[in-house]
Amino acid sequence: MRSTRITLLRCAAAAALFAAACSPAAPPAQAPAAAPAHDAAMDMHHLHGLMAHGFEMALEGASLKMLGDMKMAGAVDAAAASHGDAMMTEGKGLIDKAITGPAMGAMHMANANDPAMLYTHDLAKNMTAVIDHLQQMPAPDPKDAKAMAMHHMHIALIHAALMASQGASLKMTASMKMADAVDQEAATHATAMFAHAKGLYEETMSGDAMKQLHASASGDAMTATHAMGDSINVVIDALSKMP
């Protein structure tokens, strides 16, 4: 019995040795893959997207407020004007947070003199100037046809700025080079949106309707409109040059 047990133990040991010899060797340990280099340009890219959202929020709020200022729908007008004011304030705050917050602070540590950094600060300043003009724009007298005509021009200028901002967002998406033919279509459409935005601005500020108003509109209202139009024109040009 004892010899049988010894024989069985020897067989088991031999089998284990055979299995070990036949098993493939474990692959050598590999060093962990190196983390990809940090893409500072992509950080700025996403920051521009955040600024565009704040700008568009403020522009849409301004359109709501101008709709409410027409005094054509009672309580609905009051709600539109109130919500429009809030959107302008929050949109402006979002741009300010993007340009002064911790994310921008970290970018400044490494890229303070980068042309893209300088562009970003200028863009934020010009976006904020547009919002300031919109917040200061007085409500028109609904019974004054000339004041209402200028009011509609302001809405057209807001739409031009929106088109440019949305075009910039499309351009930024296309520049990521993640969808080939779709990226090309997005870039082409963005270029068209910039052209339409510029065309709408020029028609609003220099077209026949504006020429007619120049002969009779009050000086202060006309001055404010041109100041707002100039600031929107600057932003349209800047957005079309988005890096």
pLDDT per residue as tens digits for the range 60-114? 999 999 999 988 888 899 999 999 999 999 999 999 999 998 888 888 777 667 7
In a domain, 178, yes or no: yes
The reported pTM is 0.81
In a domain, 23, yes or no: no
Domain count, the chain: 1
Q: Can you give the CATH number for the domain in which 135 is found?
A: 1.20.58
In a domain, 230, yes or no: yes
In a domain, 218, yes or no: yes
In a domain, 70, yes or no: yes
In a domain, 175, yes or no: yes
In a domain, 15, yes or no: no
**Is the pLDDT assigned to residue 146 strictly greater than 90?**
no
Predicted local distance difference test score (pLDDT) of residue 8: 46
CB atoms within 10 A of CB 158: 21
CA distance 108 to 117: 8
What's the pLDDT band for 35 if we cut at 50, 70, 90?
very low
Amino acid at 92: K
Predicted local distance difference test score (pLDDT) of residue 9: 46
The answer to whether residues 69 and 151 touch, using CB atoms and an 8 Å cutoff, is yes
Range of the domain at 216: 40-240
Predicted local distance difference test score (pLDDT) of residue 75: 87
